[in-house]
Amino acid sequence: MRKIPTGGFLSPSKRTNSMGVQAEDTRICVIMVGLPARGKSLIAQKIVRYLGWLSITAKTFNVGQYRRSATPNPSAEFFDTSNPEGERLRRAAAEAAVGDMCKWFREGRGLVAILDATNSTKSRRRWILERCQAESIATLFVESKCDDEDLIMQNILEVKTTSPDYKGQDPEEAARDFRERIRNYEKVYETIDEDERDLTYCKLINVGHQVVINQIRDYLQSRVVYYLMNLHIRPRSIWLSRHGESQYNLVGKLGGDADLSSRGEAYAKTLPSLVQKSAGDRQLTVWTSTLKRTIQTARFLPFEKLEWKALDELDSGVCDGLTYAEVEEKYPEDFAQRDEDKYNYRYLGGESYRDVVIRLEPIIMELERSENILIVTHQAILRCIYAYFMNVPQERSPWMEVPLHTLIKLTPKAYTTVEERLKADIPAVSTFREKGSRARGNTIGDGAKPLSPTAQEDAKGLGLGLAADGKPVMGDAKPPPES
């Protein structure tokens, strides 16, 4: 493999990850603290996703999952502190979770573990601290404290429909039982206070309206705390869309700043009704890149619009304006290297997917602070944003198909992220190329349909050949003879 000073593979040191954190010197246990229905599991899930997105290996150890192996559907009485059997089983679950976490660290399998449980008493927190100290694991306690009744009720309503504890149960009965469970915890709950000022902690009060931090000691702890300071756990959704089909899409060219095709224009005009169908009467804020095709796509939306340079498409460097066939012809070694490790491969004079993730971090922070956002951007950018919310592995994210003329709605929940897709009834070429596929001779089509007469005129105007069936032919492939 040749070495390329401006392109080729990014090769982080074996001793550090992409953020420059030394693996052998960094082991942190994030200990969640809080009453039920305070968003702890959602916060834990978000921390793991965020760190994984940044190439920092993290894992959640959810004590409830350990407890469910012995007691899958407990009633509220199980959580009453006067119930000795319930207390014994809950302690056993905590010990099993902490034991597995320590083993995970000893085996060198990650840098950050999240212990997801109520950890509601000082004695329980002190026990966890001592176990971690014995293993030379740094600790960061994260308490989610909330007295906003509306928010608590929203979380209760979500838990009764998504928690494994209430699977198959009547929703109203589940809600009543869960409220009783909360009352049992409230009897013994002790917030982190001055008596525990030796702890490293971050206290989130009423969904981040107030944040208290104490004794933050290293870079990775501060990184997690910075992320937590930007979180809110109010219910919300995010909408994502690629720009409409562009003139470059028609000819299979990479990058550029092309205008929309006629079908891309049609999608731009249809997008407002698609958004209204998905978002109802909510007032959204629209974020676009600074490139013409996203701005043109968003121009009919009746919302405030913001342009972000960080949302511009992945920079393809010297390959900008080329087709994949031309890239394969001019830079065959690079074409093969990119197929081998697309996430880390950097275009000559351009970017890799890893580079894009780094520049998108401020976008993710702003998304976590905000509500009701619609992003109109590009394929590689949407792959990275989608991978963050859906926890898609790095090696798979650059190969995801993100079709044109499709609106994606993502709704984060405590245990998952719910995805919905709305496809406009407007054909578009496919810009998706599978891993290992040849660039030459590919046709860019829209299923079984040929291009419309108007789109065919667009294609001919750009010098693109058309096959006998009306589909455009990419690169130097020739249309088959008519039979």
Q: Which residues are part of the catalytic machinery?
A: 243, 313
**Would the annotation count 246 as a binding residue?**
yes
Q: What share of the chain is helix, strand, coil (3-state, %, to 5)?
A: 40, 15, 40
**Would the annotation count 90 as a binding residue?**
no
Q: Label residues 419-439 b or e (16+ Cβ within 10 Å = b).
A: eeebebebbbbebebeeeeeb
**Would the annotation count 248 as a binding residue?**
yes
Residue 209's nearest CA partner among 161, 151, 266 is 151
Distance (Å) of CA 268 to CA 249, 351, 376, 422 = 15, 28, 11, 14
Are the C-beta atoms of 398 and 384 separated by less than 8 Å? Answer: no
Reduce the DSSP state of residue 403 to 3 states and report it.
coil
**Would the annotation count 249 as a binding residue?**
yes
Cα distance between residue 132 and residue 99, in whole Å: 10
Which of 169-172's residues contact partners 24+ apart within 8 Å by CB, and which partners? 169/73
Reduce the DSSP state of residue 304 to 3 states and report it.
strand
**Would the annotation count 27 as a binding residue?**
no
**Would the annotation count 242 as a binding residue?**
yes
Cα distance between residue 211 and residue 422, in whole Å: 38
CA angle at 351 for the pair 349 and 352, rounded to the nearest 5°: 135
**Would the annotation count 244 as a binding residue?**
yes
For helices 353-369 and 40-53, angle between their N-to-C axes, nearest 10 degrees: 160
Are the C-beta atoms of 472 and 251 separated by less than 8 Å? Answer: yes
Cα distance between residue 24 and residue 16, in whole Å: 9
**Would the annotation count 209 as a binding residue?**
no
Are the C-beta atoms of 148 and 95 separated by less than 8 Å? Answer: no
Cα distance between residue 323 and residue 196, in whole Å: 61
**Would the annotation count 337 as a binding residue?**
no
Q: Which residue ranges make up the annotated binding site?
A: 242-249, 293
The binding site for substrate comprises 242-249, 293
